Chain A
Amino acid sequence: MLPPFALYRPSSLAEVADLLAAHRRDAALYAGGTELLLLLKEGLLRVQCLVDVKRVPGLAEIAAEGEVLRIGATARHRTVERSALVRARCPLVADVARHVANVRVRNVGTVGGNLAFADPHSDLATLYLTLDGMVRLWSRAGERDVALEEFLRGPYETAREEDEVLTAVRVRPWPAGTAGVYLKFGLYERPTLGVALAVSVDARGRVAAARLAVGCVGPRPRRFPAVEAEARGQTLGELAADAERLARAAAEGVDTTSDTHGSADYKRDMTRVFVRRALRIVAARAGGQEPHARYPHTIVV
């Protein structure tokens, strides 16, 4: 059962700002509600009113801005999954959307809500880190863009101020000739571990750039610049052969937390296992091969 609350349905950001200013900590921004309503049911959050942002025009829009793809905060996972624009520019973003939670959550839950809730067990946050994700925050005072890495401060904690509204996330598609993978592992509804990896290969067949992010295992997802640097310059054969060593380096650097998904040590070791798998899959894909990659309780995207 939900505790009683008032529901406001403003039709502009200015009205949202007025409501946030009037109610401050007694208000919560509401879009799909797939996370917020759970918190309210469980009594983990108490507010007097919800401010529904779904009627603000333009907030659900998905659009190309030059090379960058802008996904509006209230775009639903299902819309991202089916967007021809997303599929053309960032196919992995569409394919990962297809595997978020279940079809019911995808029909209702929004991209902005997912990021703003900052659940450590988020597929989107991990993947978007490898796409240089930037969130746009709007307030009466103006707009600012914050890199996802700085936006996500920790479990359920972001850089959003009380008077700010997350209006969109911008992702930068990988350059042509980049192979990517997202591995999602877990026995529960939310992933226990997510690994996103993209590798770009230059004309000599060597790794020009690697982007590696691991999420769900610790307080927030993160990139691994040192591992990415080590991969640069390798041939695809060397990358596959070096996968175990690189995966160990990632596992040593990862910050893990014990929770109901497993102990911190377990998650560190799973990080090693899945980064190694991701490296080998991407090395094969970059070489034009689709490996037969099947692992228990794992979705290979």
Chain B
Amino acid sequence: MPDTRTPSSFSITLSVNGRAVALDVPAHALLLDVLRDRLGLKGAKRSCDVQVCGACTVLVAGAPVSACTYLAVEADGLDVLTVEGLGSGERLDPLQEAFIEHGAVQCGFCTSGMLVAAKALLAEEPAPAPERVVHHLRGNLCRCTGYRKVVEAVVACGRASGERP
């Protein structure tokens, strides 16, 4: 039997940065608004709002998505990673350390998206070549520092991962 109710609200359960979360969301709720306004995770930013700039990048089931144009109900049952989920406590993720070391940050607005997008690449390719990083981060825009240091940081983090125990 087809469901004849009007499904305008959904109960969803998801894992956000390793923490189980259960909440009711309207069908039209965007993942970005749920993360920022319901869960207080302000790392992902609303900027272009049309999937071009990458400031709202989060990982859903390990894959980068634009949270600004992604329905929260689509993340039901899945793992979501935001920049707040990198590192633990006071301890930064090696990728964050690499960004600092290489000066890959200026105003910082794009950084959370850059980090999360790069994290997905490193999970698939632990030591990517520079051109792989450039291809993968093509959709993450930075308007101040430029891209060279970001690419250097990701490449260096990948290289170092082979040396870490």
A102 contacts the other chain (CB 8 A): yes
**Size band of the B side of the interface?**
20 to 34
Asked if residues B27 and A102 are in contact (CB atoms below 8 Å), the reply is: no
* B73 and A104 contact, CB distance less than 8 A: no
Chain B, residue nearest A3 (CB)? B28
Main secondary structure of the interface of A (DSSP, over half): mixed
Q: What total count of A-B pairs have CB within 8 Å?
A: 81
Report if A6-B8 is in contact (Cβ < 8 Å); known contacts: A33-B70, A103-B136: yes
Contact: B50 with A107, CB < 8 Å? no
CA distance A3 to B51 in the complex (A): 18
Q: Which of B8, B33, B49, B51 contacts A102 (CB 8 A)?
A: B51
CA distance A101 to B138 in the complex (A): 9
Whether the Cβ atoms of A6 and B64 lie closer than 8 Å is: no
- Answer whether residue A78 sits at the interface, using C-beta atoms and an 8 A cutoff: yes
Chain A residues, CB < 8 A from B6: 6, 49
- From A6, A15, A41, A189, give the contact of B7 (CB < 8 A): A6
Size class of the A contact interface (CB-based, 8 Å): 20 to 34
Q: Say yes or no: is B3 at the interface (Cβ < 8 Å to chain A).
A: yes
Considering the complex, give the chain B residue whose CB is closest to the CB of A18.
B2
Let me know if B64 and A103 touch, CB within 8 A: yes
Is B65's CB under 8 angstroms from A4's CB? no
A38 proximal to B (CB < 8 A): yes
Name the distance in Å between B142's Cβ and chain A's nearest Cβ: 14
**Pair B27/A50 contact, Cβ less than 8 Å:** yes
A156, CB-defined interface residue at 8 Å: no
Please report A residues at the B interface, Cβ cutoff 8 Å. 1-10, 15, 18-19, 33-34, 37-38, 41, 49-50, 78, 98, 101-105, 107-108, 189
- Given A7-B73, A34-B69, 14 more pairs with CB closer than 8 A: A2-B30, A4-B8, A4-B28, A8-B7, A33-B70, A33-B71, A34-B51, A38-B50, A38-B51, A49-B6, A78-B63, A101-B51, A102-B138, A104-B139
